Chain A
């Protein structure tokens, strides 16, 4: 759904994710400011083959809700997608939450590159604990927020986490969300070469290492059931995982971490897995 020759950086996960939108029938994008805005095209050119509405940060889900209602009135079957980065999910959290509570009939996709990349890598609530950003030069002081769990707490109709590291799994989740109705939420892990400081050819390898080390859990929540996705299921058990250091040390933003700090991070990640395992019906 995206044309070549767009403005994305080399190795950009967002551009790759936008290609996968062809799994969704009749998509209409609503995009707040962020990398995705730029990737979607600079006026008067659009890189997208589908309608895109650019909106202010905090209004994203509110606009998407209005657009969906308008299409319904016109009798047009459209899959309206609120497509935002983790920054817009911070800034527009109130409208996102309200939209989930209203059960708006739309898809929300958060392409999470774990910082405000478009403005120069400032820390967001999704930024990994202890990761270096331009606003946390010694490493971020707070733990990251788990958006997918928050959406489960909203009793969303469909919640999934995905990664650009496993395209088939990602496409399946896009397809599934597109075929359903109700409030659907996909949290997409998107390793960013310039922001995380790794070479552009490593995007997929790092995305896969995040899954293999347990730093990114792949699951789906639907009809009250949380299930781990097949590609990531073996990493639910800690003994099957690769060392977290393998994932962290392949990125410049974690270069400064000591062995003790990595152990602390491992503990925090395991706490998140404990919650997920309790919720899981597998």
Chain B
């Protein structure tokens, strides 16, 4: 039996470019950011890099990074 058609293959963007779901865009204020990486740890989507660069192609704009940021360095800007 050919099982190949039943097997899913891994893909970045398995649900497409989910950045289009976003209503608010997180913007990092680099002057306030002290690179504690808490937002990196807590981003559910894993779109924040360790250098605190956000991949807007896939960021859904949940706002957890803004809430978790102790420096208040992230602002949610309407799209």
Of the candidates B10, B41, B67, the one whose C-beta lies within 8 Å of that of A46 is B10
Q: Determine whether A47 belongs to the interface, using a CB cutoff of 8 Å to chain B.
A: yes
Residue B47 interfacial (CB < 8 Å): yes
Quick check: is A73 within 8 A (CB to CB) of the other chain? Answer: no
B13, B46, B55, B66 — most chain A CB neighbours (10 Å): B46
* A49 beta carbon closer than 8 Å to chain B: yes
Q: Which residues of A contact B (CB under 8 A)?
A: 2-13, 15-16, 19, 41-49, 52, 167-168, 193, 199-205
Contact B8 A43 (CB under 8 A): yes
- Tell me if B67 and A205 are in contact (CB < 8 A): yes
Contact pattern, B 25-41, Cβ under 8 Å of A = 1, otherwise 0: 00000000000000001
- Apart from A11-B44, A45-B8, A167-B41, 20 more pairs, CB < 8 Å: A3-B12, A3-B13, A4-B55, A5-B45, A5-B57, A6-B45, A7-B14, A10-B60, A10-B62, A11-B62, A19-B46, A42-B15, A43-B8, A44-B8, A47-B11, A47-B14, A48-B10, A49-B10, A52-B8, A201-B67
Please measure, in the bound complex, the distance between the C-alpha atom of A2 and the C-alpha atom of B76, giving whole angstroms. 25
B binding-site residues for A, Cβ under 8 Å:
6, 8-18, 21, 41-47, 55, 57-58, 60-64, 66-68, 76
The 8 Å CB contact of B11, one of A45, A52, A168, A199, is A45
Whether B44 lies near A16 (C-beta < 8 A) is yes
In the complex, what's the smallest C-beta–C-beta distance from B2 to chain A, in angstroms? 14
- Measured CB to CB, the closest approach of chain A to B3, in angstroms, equals 12
Which 8 A-B residue pairings sit nearest by Cβ, starting from the closest? A201-B63, A5-B13, A45-B14, A10-B62, A11-B62, A46-B8, A4-B58, A16-B44
B8 adjacent to A11 (CB under 8 Å): no
A47 to B10, CA, bound (A): 6
Q: Is the CB of B8 within 8 A of A201?
A: no
Residues of A within 8 A of B21 (CB): 10
Complex Cα spacing A66 to B18, Å? 36
Name which residue of chain A comes closest to B57, CB basis.
A5
A224 to B61, CA, bound (A): 44
Determine whether the beta carbon of A201 is less than 8 Å from that of B18. no
B8 to nearest A CB, angstroms? Answer: 4
Q: Pick the contact of A201 from B10, B57, B66 — CB < 8 Å?
A: B66
Instruction: Find chain A residues with CB under 8 A from B60 CB.
Output: 9-10
A5 touches B9 (CB 8 A): no
Q: Are B42 and A204 in contact (CB under 8 A)?
A: yes
The answer to whether A4 touches B45, judged by C-beta atoms less than 8 angstroms apart, is yes
A199 contacts B15, C-beta separation under 8 Å: no
Q: Is the CB of B14 within 8 A of A201?
A: no
Chain A residues, CB < 8 A from B11: 3, 41, 45-47
